[in-house]
Structures are given as structure tokens and as C-alpha cells.
Structure 1
Amino acid sequence: MTDVDLEVHHSAEDIAAALRADVREGLTAGRKWLPSKWFYDARGSELFERITELPEYYPTRAERAVLDRQAAEIAKISGAHTLVELGSGSSEKTRLLLDALREHGTLRSFVPLDVSESALAEASNAIAADYPSLAVHGVVGDFTEHLGLLPGDRPRLVAFLGGTIGNFLPADRAKFLRSVRDVLSEGEWLLLGTDLVKERDTLERAYDDAAGVTAEFNRNVLRVINERLGADFDPAAFAHESYWDAEAEWIEMRLRARTDLRVAIPGADLEVSFAAGEHIRTEISAKFRPEGVRAELSAAGFTLERWWTDPDGLFGVSLSRAIA
């Protein structure tokens, strides 16, 4: 088996400092919020994997359907020597791309980036075991901070899948796409997964399933703060809500205080009051239209070369080339 090269740019101390800063900023704001990245400790990751298998949650299945059909064409068009995966997680869907690039004869290396060192090491070792001739270079980091440190033989194909791009507010999304373009050479590639605008009921059910798994996932951000910052949140004191904002064209996930509450967060040197009915926004998940995706990519310095959807038109995957 090929040895895995693991490069750490985001230590446990860095993560703790980032959580403290986000909690202080978000929970002292006029309209309280928390970043969705803090859902993902080991329990949160397990809950999300369960969400992807729920009947209401279509994005994972729809995106996989696109990659099943188009991976060979993606490999042929890009001719990539290196596949870079941002927010790698389990790298499951990426195996479709690795297989296609290997079959095409251009694949040399795989560079997964993830904030969790343990999850990245596990995923990287699994890939190295199944692709023994592949150079695997994992990068422990935050894809909003450490893109400039990504290695790999050119041309590179950067995959940002799962609709995660929708978790950025529009200005942050533009900044992020530009930062991806800035680390690529002209002619390198971005493969982007985007959930599409559709009827309200389908969207809201995808984020509020009948089994309550998404509700537990949403409350997990409070458990993470309890564990890492010594807070005394009672997750059961908050109701899970999902709401389609038709004007912004995004789903908001929220936690609503059931009663008046006061929460101590010693690790952030903070006490926070909640009025009954007050919300914490824990996630936005923007939904896209094809013309909007093209415009945003163009503004960031990419030209959209291919656009695919699943057979039901629920989810879009775009392949774009970095231009001068």
C-alpha cells in the first residue's frame, strides 16, 4: 500500500480558537447565528451520513447519479493528473472520479483536504489501500484558509461537491470561488456541485425529515459547544426548524428557544440570554439556477464548459476551466 502523506495546517488549538471566536461573534449578534461547520464532530458526521440515506434527502443521491453518468467525460475533458477534494469527508463519491481518471490514464495523485485530522487520515488510508499506485497527500486545513497550500501535479481538478457551496452567504461565496481561482493555473479545473431551486415542500422536507435525524444533527452544534467550551446548553430546550426563504432562495436551519433561557459558556467567557421563541440560525443552504451558477463562476474567473443534472433535474454539477 502507498504511504499516505498527511500535512497538518489546522491544529486542535487552532480549531478551539476558531470555535471560541465564532461563538462569541455569533451569539452576541442582534440575530444570533452559528456557523454550520460546527455540526461536525464524530457524532455530527455520523448523523449527516444517516441524513444522506433518508428518503427525503435527495441531494446526495442526485449528485451521485450525475457522477455515475459523467465521470468518464469529466476525466476525458480535464485530463487531470491530480484530483483535489475540498471537504473530503469519506471521499465516497470521489472514488467515481478516481476510477474514471485512472481509466483515462492521467491520474497521478489525490489531495483530499478536510478540517478533521482523524476523518482525513481514515479516508486517506482507505483510498491508499484501494489505489496502491496513487500518491495520496492529505491536507488538514480549512478550505476557506488553506487553499494556497494544496500540492499536486498539474493539471489539477478541484472537486467541491455535495452542494456545500450553498452554505456560504453570497459575498463569502464570491470570495471563496475567487480564492479557488487564484490557486489554479490557467486551464485547470473546478468541479462544483450545486443544489437547484425547486418547490418549497421538497426543500423543506429535505431539511426536516419525519424521523427527526436532521433535528438531532442541528442540535449537535449545541453539544459540540458544551463539550469543547464547557457550556450548559440543554439541546432539548431548542426546537429544530427549517424555512425556505423564497426571496434569498435558500433554506435556513434554525434552533428556536422553547422558553426564556440563560446559558453559560465558560470556555468563551460568555453568558447568553434567549427569549422564548428566539432563533439561532445554524445553516443556510442556498439553491441555484443554472444561469446564476454560470454568472458566479464567470465573475470568479472561470468559464463553464459542461453542465449536467440528474434525470429529475434536482441537482446540478458543473465543470469549469480557469481562464486568464
Structure 2
Amino acid sequence: MSRFLMTRTLDENSAEAALGADVLRGLTSEPKTLPPKWFYDTRGSELFEQITRLPEYYPTRAEREILLARASEIAAASGARTLVELGSGSSEKTRHLIEAMPALDLYVPVDVSASALEGAAETLLAEHPGLRVHALLADFTRPLELPESPGPRLVLFLGGTIGNLLPGERAGFLKAVRAMLSPGDALLLGTDLVKDEATLVAAYDDAAGVTAEFNRNVLAVIDRELDADFHAADFDHVAVWDREREWIEMRLRARHDLSVKIRALDLVVPFAAGEEIRTEVSAKFRQDGVRAELAAAGLELTEWWTDAAGRFALSLATAA
């Protein structure tokens, strides 16, 4: 019997239709917006991997520090035999947790990239001969049907990705996760924490300009997939801290008046000089806020771990 299985709920046509719908809605709104999930084509994923190694970008290192230090505690607290990871990507950090879970039977990575799922599975299956992998090629922001799996299950949502969702979206997402959980299951959630503005802005506007290239790459995705004529050189990368909402916004700011044709949508989008597209929100959190948002979704915060510098947190929550 094969130890690897992939279930697909996305194909190229559905991805292109979703991109078109997001671009049409976002670029005809006021202000203009684009969802951050479209950063991650092959080039965007490569750039993000570079970002995680930059001196300014602390979240990946801080989260890995917690996983290395607390993996055995997480494993013991969850007792998981099935690990479900939403937005799994390369599953690189998850390996630290899997190594601490000798009773683990099944890993269920969920991602929109088939190549990422296949690559991660190949590595994990070679390292763990007793492990099975059932990958889901799916968008975790849509309703998910998980495969039959032994309990207890631990659902992972790492990387601070929860912060890319607006408050209403977060509430809906956490309620959907709660609906996945059976008695004894748990959620392990990664959240970046509120800290000084200079540290936060630098993490999203590095000196080498890698994040700027990553941000502008979304325009290349639209050009390629929707036959548009964006030019990256027409837009500046901007990162700002919103003190009231306690989130970072990444934006693309038009350097001059221009118009962009998106032929696949039969759409012309005008930009005034200085007009911006918001491409990402990255909310930062405090423990009380995380506890309250989990509680509103029917989840109870039971464990809270941070890195030594208190920059990032992993929290364990169970059904209330």
C-alpha cells in the first residue's frame, strides 16, 4: 500500500478563475487591494524563502526556536496521531514537531502548490518510514473535508499567517477550524506579537530590497496569468505600521499616472500618481487578544509558548 496519497480540490482552471475574481474585485474597489495568496508562484516562493533568511525578518527564526525548544511538550500535550497542517508549504519547520511525535501515524498537509506538497512528502517519507502522508491540494480559506484519520488530531496553522486575515476573516476561519475538531483534538496557532515599530517595519522593508521584489512579483503573476501589462518599475514598495489596528500593511504605490490593461478580464485600471494597492495585512497580536478570538470561535487557550525574546508565540487551543 502506498504511503503517499494526494486529493485535489483545485486545478489550473479553478486557480485562474479565483485569481481573476480576486483581481476584478480588488482593483475595482476603493482603495484597491489584492489578496496576498497570489504572491506565491514559483518565483514568489523562492523570494519568500530568501526573506525568511534575512537579518531583519525574525518571525521564521523565532517560531523555529519555539518548535525546537517545545516540540516534546507540544507532542505530549496534544497526544496527536494525526497532524493536519494548513498552508504547509515546504513543511520545513514541521519536521521538528514530527520528530518529537513517535506515535504519529498520518500527516495531512494542505496547500495550493502540488509541487510543494510532493516535495515535502518525499522528504518526510524518507525520514520517517512509519509515517503516511495524505496531501490535500486545496485552499485552506475554503471549507475543507479532512480524510478519515486516527485521533487525536493536531491542526497546525504556523508562520503567523493568521495575521494575513482581516478580523472578520479570522473569526470565520477559526470557527471553521473549530468545526474540524473532534473531542481530544487541538489547534497549534502561530502568532507574531506586537513590538516596536522600527523592528516591525524593517521586517517588511529590508535593506536588500528582497521584500520589495516579492511584493512587486504579484504584478508579474497578473501579467502572466491574466494577460495584463503591469510594469513593476511603475510601482514603489511601501510598508507601514497601523498603530490603531496593530498591523503592518504592504502596499504598491504608483510612481506616476498610468493605466493597466488586464485583457483576460476586459478591464482597464487607472492609477493616479501616488495611488496604492494594499497587497498584504499582517496583524500582530497580544496574548489576551488571541485568547479572546479563540474563545469567540469556541476554542480554549490551554498553552502559550514564546521565543526567548518574546517576539513570537505558539498557542495550543482545544474545543471549549
State, as a whole percentage, how many aligned pairs show the same letter.
Answer: 61
Mapping of residues 207-246 of structure 1, within 5 Å:
207-246=204-243
Matched with 2:39 is: 39
1:285 to 282, 302, 305: 282
What is the distance in 1 between the residues matched to 2:148 and 2:223?
Answer: 36
Mapping of residues 257-296 of structure 1, within 5 Å:
257-296=254-293
Matched with 2:24 is: 24
Does the CA-based 8 Å contact 2:38-2:221 persist in structure 1? yes
Matched with 1:177 is: 174
What is the distance in 2 between the residues matched to 1:221 and 1:136?
Answer: 31
Aligned alpha-carbon RMSD (Å) = 1.1
Matched with 2:96 is: 96
Does the CA-based 8 Å contact 1:9-1:146 persist in structure 2? no
What is the distance in 2 between the residues matched to 1:2 and 1:74?
Answer: 29
Q: Secondary structure at the match of 2:118?
A: helix
What is the distance in 1 between the residues matched to 2:89 and 2:2?
Answer: 20
Q: Secondary structure at the match of 1:307?
A: strand
Matched with 1:167 is: 164
268-277 vs 19-28, greater mean Cα deviation: 268-277
Shift in Å at residue 3 of structure 1? 3.3
Matched with 2:155 is: 158
What is the distance in 2 between the residues matched to 1:159 and 1:124?
Answer: 16
Q: Secondary structure at the match of 1:217?
A: helix
152-161 vs 163-172, greater mean Cα deviation: 152-161
What is the distance in 2 between the residues matched to 1:124 and 1:268?
Answer: 37
What is the distance in 1 between the residues matched to 2:2 and 2:308?
Answer: 38
What is the distance in 1 between the residues matched to 2:149 and 2:16?
Answer: 29
What is the distance in 2 between the residues matched to 1:197 and 1:35?
Answer: 22
- Letter of the structure 1 residue corresponding to residue 137 of structure 2: V
Matched with 1:195 is: 192
Q: Secondary structure at the match of 1:147?
A: coil
What is the distance in 2 between the residues matched to 1:2 and 1:55?
Answer: 41
* Post-superposition CA distance 1:265-321 (Å, at most 9, x none): 011221100000000000000000000001111111111110010000000110111
1:49 aligns with 2:46: no
Structure 1 regions of 5+ residues with no counterpart?
none
What is the distance in 2 between the residues matched to 1:35 and 1:280?
Answer: 10
What is the distance in 1 between the residues matched to 2:319 and 2:145?
Answer: 15
Shift in Å at residue 2 of structure 1? 5.5
What is the distance in 2 between the residues matched to 1:301 and 1:70?
Answer: 25
* Post-superposition CA distance 1:28-86 (Å, at most 9, x none): 00100000000000000000000000000000000000111110001011100101111
Q: Secondary structure at the match of 2:32?
A: coil
Structure 1 length-normalised TM: 0.97
Matched with 2:75 is: 75
What is the distance in 2 between the residues matched to 1:216 and 1:285?
Answer: 18
Matched with 1:186 is: 183
1:310 to 307, 310, 318: 307
Does the CA-based 8 Å contact 1:2-1:132 persist in structure 2? no
What is the distance in 1 between the residues matched to 2:286 and 2:158?
Answer: 16
Does the CA-based 8 Å contact 2:193-2:286 persist in structure 1? yes
Shift in Å at residue 150 of structure 1? 4.4
Q: Secondary structure at the match of 2:273?
A: coil
Structure 2 regions of 5+ residues with no counterpart?
none
